[in-house]
Each structure stands twice: as C-alpha cells, then as structure tokens.
Structure 1
Amino acid sequence: MKAQQHTRSQRRILNLLKNLNQGISAQEIYVELRSQNQGLGLATVYRALEALKREGAVQVRMLPNGESLYSSVHEDKHHMTCLECGKSISLNECPVHELESQLHRSHQFTIFYHTLEFFGLCNQCQAVHQD
C-alpha cells in the first residue's frame, strides 16, 4: 500500500486519535481540537474523517443509537454492548481472523479492518427485566 499524503486537518485528527485509547465521535474530535487551539470547522472534521476512513487510516464503530465512534486503526476491537444501559464490554479475542484471510485470498479484497459487535442485555439489565 502506498503512503498517503494527508492534509493538515487529517494529520491533526490522526494525532489526536493515536493518543486516545478509545473511540471518539466527530463532535468530540471537533471540541477537543478547538480546546487545543487547533480549531477546525465541524464540516472539515467530517470531511477529513471520511477521507481517512476511505484509505483505511481510521476505523468506525457504530453504536446502537446511530452514533459513530472513530479510532485509529491499530488492532481489532470487538465488543458486547447492552441495548438497555449502553454498557460496552471489550472482547480480547477475535474469532474471525482466519475468515478475514480467506476473504482476502478468495476475493483479492484489501481489508483495512473489521469490527465484531454483539448486542443484548448485560447481567444487571437482565435482572431488572426479570423482576
């Protein structure tokens, strides 16, 4: 894969995401960059994120409420998310790495990242619904 030339806006966003250990929304990126006196317009943030996503430099995780969380692509992150309280539990293992390799070989498809999400009810919310 050839190295991409990033705009100043894209570099600022990538630096922010690399320093975080969690996903962050576009609005939170906008607020954080403004607090660092690196103000970008919200539309610029969205355009930069879209370009970074298309080249595989950032990954997007969609929450059940429709919010998108952006993070740098460094490792697969998989979650179980409670639909009631929103609690999200990270999974430390990935059962689909072999499938990813097979898809890459059989379809000559370059895969930048994948996500795996399970949705349901956590223990506390199950207890509330059973009462």
Structure 2
Amino acid sequence: MNTSRYAKGSGRPPVHLASINTEGSAAGHLVFAGGVAGDRHVPFCSHDELLGMLKDLICARVPFSVGGMCPGPADEVGLLIDNAELTGPCIELSWTGSQQWIVRETANASGEWQQEPDASEIANLIFNPDSLKRAD
C-alpha cells in the first residue's frame, strides 16, 4: 500500500501553476500565481514545449492548482499522466478556506495519507517561473 504525503498551510499560497491557457491549435501560456511576485505568464509555442515545461514543473515539485467548477492544471496534468504523455506523481494545491491551503502528492492507489509538518517537505515553495522561459 502506498502512503502519500500532505501538508497544510495558511496565508499566501506558494507559487503554483494556476492555469494552462491555449491560444489556437497548440500555443498558449502558463499562468503562475502565489508567492510575492503576483501572477506570471510563461508562453509556450507547441504541445511538445508545453509537455517539456510540465515535466520540468513536476520534477521541480511545483504545485498545480486543482479545479473547482472547471478542470484546473492538476486535472489536466492528471489526464496527461493517465495518457502516458507525462509521468507523475505531481503536487496538488487546493484551498480549504480563506487563506487556508493544502499541498499533497498525488499517487495512484494511495491507501493512506501522512501529514508533514512543513509544506516545503513536499512542494517547492520558492519556485521562480522565469526559470521556464526558453532562450530565443
């Protein structure tokens, strides 16, 4: 049986992928929120470039926001993992109330959850979205 980890936090959430916006066939931009810098947009030109960025984010343990009324990045990445276009687990960020959030590892067939006292044990809380920008 697999054990997944989670941690609770309060106040401003860490930098996280808030949305994946596509414009046209495959180009678009990733929107990051949280942290102290405000929203950041990082463009991508193709589906392959998007997959490369998402892979980098998974490896860097950057949280993906879960959806509410519509699918969020965590849901979209989950589908890409299910379709074997990406490998996981990834880190999800969700809200439990005003200024209250949880980060958790996703893993197939998790039977138990273990609480960590510090969210930095699970997620990268200081990620810089500019590190994804490709050199021209």
TM-score (norm 1): 0.32
- Which structure has the greater CA radius of gyration? 1
Bigger RCO of structures 1 and 2 (CA < 8 A, at least 6 apart) = 2
Higher strand share: 2
Higher helix share: 1
